[in-house]
Structure formats: structure tokens, C-alpha cells
Amino acid sequence: MAKPRFEYESIDSPLSPEKIPLPKKATIYFKRPYDRRDTLLLKIGDAVKTGQKLLIYEDSDVYAISPVTGTVAGIAPFIGDFGESYTALTIDVSETDTFDEEFGGSFEEPNFETALNYLKTLPGNPPLSDFADPDIHLNTVVVTALDKDLLTLTNQHMAAANVDLLTRGVSMLKRITGVHKVVVAIPQKLIRRAGAIGGASGVELRPISTDYPSALPAFILKEVLGQVIPAGKTNLDMGVSLFGAEALANLTQAFEEKQIPVIKRLTVIRKDLSKVLVEARIGTPVKEIFTALDVTLQDMDRLVIGGPMTGNAVYSDEHPVTPDMDVLMVQDSKDVSLVSDYPCINCGDCNRVCPADIAVNMLVRFCEAREYEAAADEYDLHSCIECGLCTFVCPAKIPIFQYIRLAKHELARSAMEVEPAGPETEEAEEGELAAKEPIETAEAEEAKEETAQTSEE
Amino acid sequence: MANQKRFIVSHAPFWHDGSSVTERSYHMMLAALPAVIFGIIKYGMPALAVTALSVSSAILWEAAFRRISKASETVGDGNAALIGLIFAMLLPATSPWWVVVTGTFVAIVIGKEIFGGIGSNPFNPVAVAAAFLMLSWWKYFDFNAALVHYPFDHMAVYPLSALKNFGLSSVEGLTLADLLTGKQTGGIGTTFSLGLIIGGVYLMLRGIIRWEIALSFIAGVFITATIFKANNPEQYAGPMIHILSGYTLLGAFFLATDDSSSPVNLVPMFLYGLIGGLMVVLIRNIGAYIDGTILTILLINTVNPLLDKIRPKALGKVV
């Protein structure tokens, strides 16, 4: 009868963030695979200013904002989760900040064009590209003052600390995006403090439950908007864009101060599960944060970015603070829980705990056997909202969550390989054939590259 | 990079509630102990010998099978010991050693391991073994013959066989208190109903067994027996005798709830239990066997995969 329940920690007033000193080196990621043959627009030794928009590839408009002033120290590939590939740019940081003027001089009034051009990588990752995507028709924006994962206070803090800023931000967001329905989802405890967000501007304020997983996208739509996302669809398909309070606050601040914010707030969960909110430059290696907080890292500890239930473990404490890093957790080696290869004993705890009512006991069997299509067709793979609760309760310690993510990843990948029918596929096939031959022609090389790109996308 | 710390990298979630298969087995065995200890006190050394042999031989069969089939060692999860213990509870205290050893062989090897081990068995291994022995050497499960030399201070006839052979009047002397406190004959671990109930409630509260199955199984027995009783009060025994004698409680709490061979969705769990309860009384009242519990368990195990297809609609499922 025992069924675990998790509650999001909630606060009723802003916290006092700890300021992390400027690092010696900062690293930022460009969301594009690194390729040595590309002509790079930046080279080692180039000077960059704080808030400067950096483009790195000639043929790509993928940009990043330099969070610091200094000189480029290195450009290297970086492989993230599921083999996603980025380009990492390291900057030697100089002690004094010089702010770049380009953004400030680029607009008169806040407008969407400028936002898209400069502010996609703001701390908090505002989902601006979705508004520009011709396939997505957004009609609602939900601003959430609750963080996705447990023990995380970043967005709650940002909502509590920036009530007026967010109120102006909501009006500004309506104006620049043309989306008129804005809903602010706020936990009960914060309503007294931050209930004024939106003011009289016709913004709906709705309470959001603090029962995990109510802040995951599927549950925000279900509980806050009363809409159920059909399996396999996302909030974007439903016309709903989800903004964290931090993203909106930074977006507003950027336009008001004519300067791109480069400071990320994040919750750090220490080994004893105590939490502290920190302010750090984007690009700060996480080890600097731990040093500043007096947390000693040891071999066999586990560093987790993105919270205890849904995050990712990273292998290096050089990993930089990124715009979407709301929470950073460190676990002592003795608290590290491990998975096993034990079979499912069919105890049914996962079915009981699943907030999406999936027959997880069956789903995991299909996923284990790599029967991904059957898993999707018969056992509701795409209904999974990725909360991780099934894995938390599994007595056999099966990595169910990872099996599910892998299944979705593999299905998406095979769909990608099948779908783009027509000339492009043919060319790609040709390329593959050619690549097997001993002499590689320039043409084949080109086609091969295209294949690589399609499969990576 | 040379003096990089080495961190553990793994997948989300990074917390676990600490439950484990081993822990579940030990809780089950702990819950069975009141009834087992009572049985050992009641029947003495022979009961202890049967229990010890059953548990140890079950462990050895599993270890041997895993070794021969070059599979990983699994006896550490306690499941084999649990199977041995529950099997011993079904047996009369005077069972010969070869019955015990054959039984655990059937339970572990035929009931569980050849299907792939824990989690893969379609039938409850203990029920498979018990059914196999009952059909092969039925006289070793005749409690009246098996326990004939015991000087009991209570009715010495196995209640269910008395009921079957001599009619309702023969068990009228049994009070509810007798049945609860073990003043009846039966298997080593099946007579002390109160102990079984305590163990069962413990397991339900801990979430080790699925309460829906256990309670609906008992409810099924209760309802069916009540209907029989209401139709012909002279011929049929009331629900309490059916629930508190024979293998009913052991079946409800320890056999029907076997993880692998029972359903996990809500409606199926209730149906599964109710069908089980119904079949127990049907077999006892109008069937050929004295106690229908073991065959009932195998029967509901058979319908389990079909039943468990009834499941809630998943979030956002498009029909």
C-alpha cells in the first residue's frame, strides 16, 4: 500500500544567492557539431567582450553570447548526452568586464526579431525559436514559477525576486510574440509574494500543485491548462510555449537595460541535500562553484546536472554552467545508487507510481528486448512523461527510465532515416556506397557528410 | 586533464527508494515466520526437519541449476529460500525426505528456473510443486493419515476432509477461536490462522504483496461460501471455516500474490482474486478435491496474462 510521494520544495520569499567569482576560463557551447574542415570565424587569440554575439561557422547562424571579456583560448568538439555533438569555445577571462554595444544599439523598441537574433541563449533558455518556426502555431504562453525537478528553487526564486520585472515582461512578451494568452503558473506558497505578476494586464494566474511531477510539461498542460497532450506530441503541438520565470526575467531585463544578461542562477544541491542558490557567469566551470561553496569533490562522487530525477551525470568538473542548468547536484560516493541487470520481477510498483498510467511492467520488457515499435504501439511508450518515478521505486533496480529514453531516441532516429524520401535520400545512399570504395571522390565525400548531418539532426 | 577526478556517470534518476528483491524475499519470510514457528512448536522436530530440508534443498537446487546452465548466481536474492519455506508450510510435518526434495526440485527447476528464473515463471512455483506431488503421491497429502500418531488435544481430523467426507455436522465443534489459534490439523504453516493474518497484514502494509489480490481472494471465498450456505445451510459450511482452514489464507497471502504469476493492474487484480476465491469454494463444495486452493492458484495463474490486459488508459493515449 505504500506509494512514495514527492513534493517540490517551495519557498515563499526570495533567497539570497551566493555570488560565484569570475572564473579564469569560461566555456560556451555552440549547438552545432564541430568540424575541422570548416572555416572558423573565430580563432585562438581573438578578443571577445561580455555580451558579444559570437558566430563561429560561416554557413550557420548558430550563435552564442560571450559571457565574459577575454581572448579565445580554444575550440574543440564536445559530445553530450545521446551522442549529441557541440562545438565548445573556451575563453581566457580578463578581470575587468567590457560590455559589447552591438545589442544595445540594434533596436529602438523591444521586438521579436532582435530577441531571436541575440537572446536565444539567455540564462534560462527562453524557447524563442519555437515562435519563429513556421510549423508551430503557438497560442498560449505558460510562465512557470516552479522548477522541473525536485529540490530545485531557481525559477521560484526568480519569480519571488522579480515580481515587477516579470509583470512588465509579460506585457512585453505579448507584444513581441503576438500571443495574447499568457498564464502564470505559481505554487500556492508563492502566491502571496508573487501573485501580483501580470498585474491588471489580463494575465491569468493559476496555482500549480507541488506534487511531483506537476512541473513537467505534460502535467503543466494537464493540470494548469486542462489539456491532455496526445501520446507522442509535445506542448508545442498543442500551441503552448513554456517559459521559466528566469527566462522571462532575463528577456525583459535584456530589453530594459539594453545589455544581454550573462548571469545564471542555479540551485546547488550539496552532498547532505542542503541547497544553496548561486549566481554564476555562464561558462563558469562547475568546480569553481564547488570551490566557492566549500564542497570537496572526490573520486567516485557523482555530479548531476538537471536534478535528482531527470538530470544527466557528467564526467568532468570542468563542465561549464550552461543557460539551461537550473540545478547542479553532487552526490557522495556512498550515496550513489546504481542500476542492475536483474530481470523484472513483476512487482507492479512502477505501474502504481506511474503518473501517466502506463503498464510499465510490460513496457520495460519490450524496451529491454529492443522491440521499440511494439513498445510504442501496444504499451504506450510515447505516453511516458519522463519523470523517473518508475526507476526510483524499482526493487530490481532496472534502469527503466533510460530504457524508455533510449527507445524513444531509437524510434526517432529510425523515423529520421526513413522519412526524408526523395532525391536527398538517394544521394545519401550513393554516398554511403561510394564511401566503401577505396578511393573517395570529392562528391562522395560531400554526400557522406550530408548523411552524417541528416542522422545527427 | 591528468589530475582529473573520476566521477561516476550513470542515468537518471539518481535516487532510489532502497527497495530490493532480496529485501522483499526476507520480508515475505519474516511474515511467514509466526505461522511456521507455531507449526514447529505444535508438530515438533519432524516439522523443523521438513522446514529446514525444504529451505536448504530449494536453495541448493537453484544454485545447482544456475551453475549447470552457466547463469549468474541468484540464490542471494532469497527467492529460493522463500519458495522452500512456503513449500514446507504446505506439507504435513511427517512428510518423508524424498517428498520434500522432489517438491523443491519441481518448484525451483520446473516451476521457476526453466522459464528463465525469477520474474519469468507463469505459475507459482510452490503451487506447481504441490500440485505435482498431490497428483503423484496423494496419500502424502492426506493429513489424517500423516498426522495419525500425534496426540492432539483438539479435533484430530483435518477439517476440510471431515467436511467433505462426513458432512457439516462433523466440523460443528470447531469454533472460530480454535481455527484462529491453530487448534486444527493441517500443514506445518497453515493451521495458525491468526499468525498468517498477522503476516499478511504486515506484507500488505509494507507494500510487499499487492493487497488487492489478497483481500479480493478472501472476499471471493467469503462471498461464494455465503451464497452456498444461504442456499443450503444444512449441507454447506459457512465462510469462516473455508477462510480459516486448509490452504486458504496461505493461498491468499503467499501464493496468489506471487509477483511474477499475478496481475499488476487494478481491475485485473480484483478479478484475479475474486475468481480465485470463487474457485476455491467451488472445488471444495462441489468438486472432487478436499482443498481446491493449489489447483485454483494454478488456474488463476493461467488466466493472469489475459486478465492483465485490462489496464487503465495511459495519459494522452490516442485510440
**Å from A368 to nearest chain B CA?**
14
Contact present, A143 and A185 (Cβ < 8 Å):
yes
Give Cα separations from A406 to A83, A324, A354, A369, B256 (angstroms).
12, 22, 18, 12, 35
Q: Do A351 and B207 touch (CB under 8 A)?
A: no
The tens digit of pLDDT for each residue in B30-71 reads: 999 999 999 999 999 999 999 999 999 999 999 999 999 999
Contact between A325 and A264 under an 8 Å Cβ cutoff? The reply is yes
Q: Cα–chain-centroid distance for residue B81? A: 14
Q: Which residues of A touch B207 (CB under 8 A)?
A: 1-3, 349
Mean pLDDT (chain B, rounded): 94
Q: Over 60: is that where the pLDDT of A424 sits? A: no
CB contact under 8 A, A313 and B8: yes
Q: Which residue of B has its CA nearest to A392?
A: B16
Q: What is the nearest CA distance from A435 to chain B, expressed in angstroms?
A: 35
Record the cell numbers describing residue A310, joined without a space: 531527470
- The ipTM assigned to this model is 0.91
| Inter-chain touch A315–B9, beta carbons under 8 Å | yes
- Looking at chain B, which residue has its C-alpha nearest residue A227? B316
pLDDT band at A289; cut points 50, 70, 90:
very high
**Confidence band for B172, pLDDT divided at 50, 70 and 90:** confident
Confidence of residue A200 (pLDDT cuts 50, 70, 90): low
**Is A357 in contact with B315 (Cβ distance < 8 A)?**
yes
C-alpha pair distances (Å), A273 with each of A29, A32, A355, B23: 29, 35, 25, 26
Q: Is B24 in Cβ contact with A347 (below 8 Å)?
A: yes
Q: Is A85 exposed, middle or buried (0-12, 13-18, 19+ CB in 10 A)?
A: middle
B313 CB neighbours in chain A (<8 A) are 357
Gap from A370 CA to chain B (nearest CA, Å):
18
**For B207, which of A1, A313, A383 is closest by C-beta distance?**
A1
Q: Is B2 exposed, middle or buried (0-12, 13-18, 19+ CB in 10 A)?
A: exposed
Q: Do B259 and A345 lie within an 8 Å CB cutoff?
A: yes
Looking at residue A3, its pLDDT comes to 62
Q: What is the CA A245 to chain-centroid distance, rounded? A: 14
User: Is the CB of A349 less than 8 angstroms away from the CB of B207?
Assistant: yes
Q: Where residue A36 falls among pLDDT bands split at 50, 70, 90? A: confident
Q: What is the pLDDT of residues A319-369, one digit of tens each?
A: 999 999 999 999 999 999 888 989 999 999 999 999 999 999 999 999 999
Note the pLDDT tens digit of each residue in B251-267. 999 999 999 999 999 99
* B contact set with A (CB within 8 A): 4-17, 19-21, 23-24, 77, 116-120, 204-207, 210-211, 259-260, 262, 264-265, 308, 311-318
State the average pLDDT over residues B292-299: 95
Helix (H) or strand (E) holding A406: helix A400-418
Say whether A395 and B24 touch across the interface (CB within 8 A): yes
Kindly determine whether residue B12 and residue A401, on different chains, have CB atoms separated by under 8 Å.
Answer: yes
